[in-house]
Structure 1
Amino acid sequence: MKGLERFSPALVLFVALGFVGTAVAQDVVSGPARVIDGDTIAIRGQRIRMHGIDAPESAQTCLDASGQAYRCGQVASNALASMAGRGSVACRARDVDRYGRLIAVCFRDGIDLNAWMVRDGYAMAYRRYSSDYVRHESAARARRAGIWQGRFVAPWDWRRTQGAGNSGAPARREGCAIKGNVSSSGERIYHVPGQSRYDATRISEAKGERWFCSEAEARAAGWRRARR
């Protein structure tokens, strides 16, 4: 759930020579969606950042109404998967960011998934780039839905504090040696010690990757075991 930085119009035209630009020109990308995190999906290998919203990062925690910490980033990801995973998703491209992701509004069976995520309190309106979902956020806040039930750090602030002075690999919990990797196509694959790609796999929390303490935990979070 990296922040968004848009290309210049000239560069967008240059990129149009490739698949991403073609998708923008075609306006809509559709098909089965793989959820990467609470505001990013992949369709046919193309990563898509959902326009106008920002969900908690995969590793981010929030406090619920009773003050107990919970993994709000994972909750957001699971919520999106529960909606997007039920059928074909159609994403209407709006732009391309510097990571090569399409910026799009995504729909499933006529439901605006961007709006749904904000309205149900799984994501915030990303005012830096759009005011499209501000009213949905206001409704969620009034109902104390999702993250609004307790306390949390805005995703963009969380990313900034996590990145400050931390250029090394993300720390892992003691005894948690399973590596949860996100492939270039957006597939979530975990590697256990002894597998052929384990040592070469590096974990980047900015991409939604993480450490697991058990294979059961990894599978429950939506990862599958590497084949070798």
Structure 2
Amino acid sequence: MLDKKHMGDVHKFRKPRNSRRHSFQSELPSLRGPKRRRWTRVQSILVIIGLLLGAFLGLKLIGETGFASEEASFQCGSVRVIDGDTFDCGSTRIRLSGIDAPELPGHCRQGRQCTPGDPYAATQNLQKLVAAGAVQCRKTDTDKYGRTVARCTSKGVDLSCGQLSAGQAVRRYGYILCL
């Protein structure tokens, strides 16, 4: 109601501070959508565990083509080194996984950019690594030339990582984790 004192005065109408803009807005559904629920601590922990498990499995599969089976693992009785990333394990030609070593003269196909470096030093380093002890391999793939691609160790040293750490090869054809 109007105050008697201001009854004849003309006033600009102002919206009262705490009133609703339009009464019909309260009847309309909210345009913002439903309120978002916050994540509970249990949900957060489950998501973190899932991410860690996924990362672990991803890292495991990067170095291998799957979980190792008995058929995929084998030991080499006799080893004959061909070059810095290839050797014969008995009658099976093995290509070391994840690396590329310099090619011997005449072995680099035309149009291919071969790894720079001394192919003889790379070959000698691989010979030294396999001579350290029995060579144990785990097949990861077969390349386009029919060679078995494998992760191999000799006396606990991964041969691919040994070639990388000696500077006799570069990372190529997938990722390998060397610790």
User: What TM-score, normalized by structure 2, do the two folds share?
Assistant: 0.51
Counterpart of 1:90? 136
The alignment partner of 1:26 has SS state of coil
Q: Classify the secondary structure of the residue corresponding to 1:75.
A: helix
- 1:17-96 maps to which residues of 2 (within 5 A)? 26-31=71-76, 32-59=78-105, 72-96=118-142
SS in structure 2 of the partner of residue 58 of structure 1: coil
Work out which of the residue numbers 113, 117, 131 in structure 1 matches 2:175: 131
The equivalent of 1:106 in structure 2 is: 152
2:164 to 118, 141, 147: 118
Give distance in 2, aligned partners of 1:29 and 1:35.
17
Unaligned segments of structure 1, at least 5 residues: 1-23, 61-70, 137-228
AA aligned opposite 2:104: S
Q: After superposition, what is the alpha-carbon deviation per residue over 1:68-123, rounded to whole angstroms, capped at 9, x for unaligned?
A: xxx70011001100111233211110011121110101100111111010011000
Decide whether the 8 Å contact of 1:59 with 1:74 is kept in 2.
no
Match of 2:56 in 1: none
Unmatched 5+ residue regions in structure 2?
1-68, 107-116
Q: Would you say the 8 A contact 2:80–2:88 is kept in 1?
A: yes
The separation in 2 between residues aligned to 1:30 and 1:103, in whole angstroms, is: 14
Equivalent positions of 1:150-189 (< 5 A) are none
Judge conservation of contact 1:40–1:47 (CA < 8 Å) in 2: yes
Identity across aligned pairs (percent)? 35
What residue identity is the alignment partner of 1:130? G
Runs of 4+ in 1 over 6 A off after TM superposition: none
Question: Within 1, Cα distance between the matches of 2:74 and 2:124?
Answer: 22
| Equivalent residues of 1:33, 1:88 under 8 A apart | no
- The separation in 2 between residues aligned to 1:86 and 1:45, in whole angstroms, is 21
Write the distance in 1 (CA, Å) between the matches of 2:99 and 2:74.
Answer: 19
- What is the number of residues matched between the two proteins? 101
CA distance in 1, matches of 2:128, 2:149: 21
Measure, in 2, the Cα distance between the counterparts of 1:98 and 1:108. Answer: 26
How much is the aligned-residue C-alpha RMSD, in angstroms? Answer: 2.3
Contact 1:39 1:49 in 2 (8 A): yes
CA distance in 2, matches of 1:44, 1:28: 14
Q: Where does residue 54 of structure 2 map in the other structure?
A: none
The letter for the 2-side match of 1:121 is: G
Whether contact under 8 Å (1:95, 1:102) holds in the other structure is: yes
- Counterpart of 1:117, as a letter, is Q
